[in-house]
Amino acid sequence: MVTVTVEGLSVALGKRTVVRDASFTVSPGTLTGIVGPNGAGKSTLARAMLALVSAQGRVLVDDADAATMPRAELARRIAYLPQGQTLHWPLTVERLVGLGRLPHLAPMSRLGEADAAAIERAMDRADVLPLRHRIATELSGGERARVLLARALAVEAPALIADEPLASLDPGHQIDVMELLGEEARAGRTVVAVLHDLTMAARYCDRIILIDGGRIVADGAPGVVLTADNLRAVYGIEVRIEEHDGRPAIVPLGRSR
């Protein structure tokens, strides 16, 4: 199990500050959604949590500073699903998913039986076993998204950060992915997902962090964060909030006037 603590994190890209003084802790057994409008800093925050961009402040993985951890060790502790990744090499799906095992391998070593079993489990979980012999560059956008999720799952890390894991997926597979992320959290993993679909975030996440202009403006349970007032202030929209199985369902009505 891994606890990730963000302390006073700020990120500047060029002359623009994209993330401003973010502080929070994500813990095992919790699915945390990061939401906010385009350009709010969600993806940059996710990358900063993995020390992939230069930042002020600290990110602690348990008690270790992510910025000074060896990259392979950090990759073993936190799996990462980036958004919109382009595939350049004509690998089979099975080989692409197998790249998720690289943090566990010594230099010049080969995949072993334990790695093969992890790859099989990941492909099964992401529903891509029927695609295993297909060439990844020939897949549809939705198929490719599920394969990249399988690669992240193949790491079998105690924490997972997924940046827009629902992009390019049809509604059925969106539900599948959110249920899978919830299962990962209930199994004791620390799961963070950057999301645009507010109803999906409200229905499946245990906690929501709402970001606007690089700042955290609300943090808590979905029903506390995703209020009509907050969504009007952050997104400039009017919504109707209904309840389904004790969770908010958000229906956009139009732009605020």
pLDDT (tens digit per residue) in 100-111: 999 998 787 888
**Lookup: tokens for 155:** 């790491």
CA distance linking residue 9 with residue 196, whole number of Å: 22
| Rounded alpha-carbon distances, angstroms, from residue 162 to 142, 227, 252 | 15, 24, 25
Q: What is the pTM of this model?
A: 0.93
| 4-255 maps to CATH 3.40.50.300 | yes
**Lookup: tokens for 96:** 């692409």
pLDDT (tens digit per residue) in 212-256: 999 999 999 999 999 999 999 999 999 999 988 888 899 999 999
Q: Which residue type is seen at 133?
A: H
Would you kindly state where each structural domain of the chain is located, as residue ranges?
A: 4-255
Quick check: 26 and 34 in contact, CB under 8 A? no
Q: Could you please report the per-residue DSSP string of 188-254? A: T-EEEEE-S-HHHHHHH-SEEEEEETTEEEEEE-HHHHS-HHHHHHHH-EEEEEEEETTEEEEEEEE
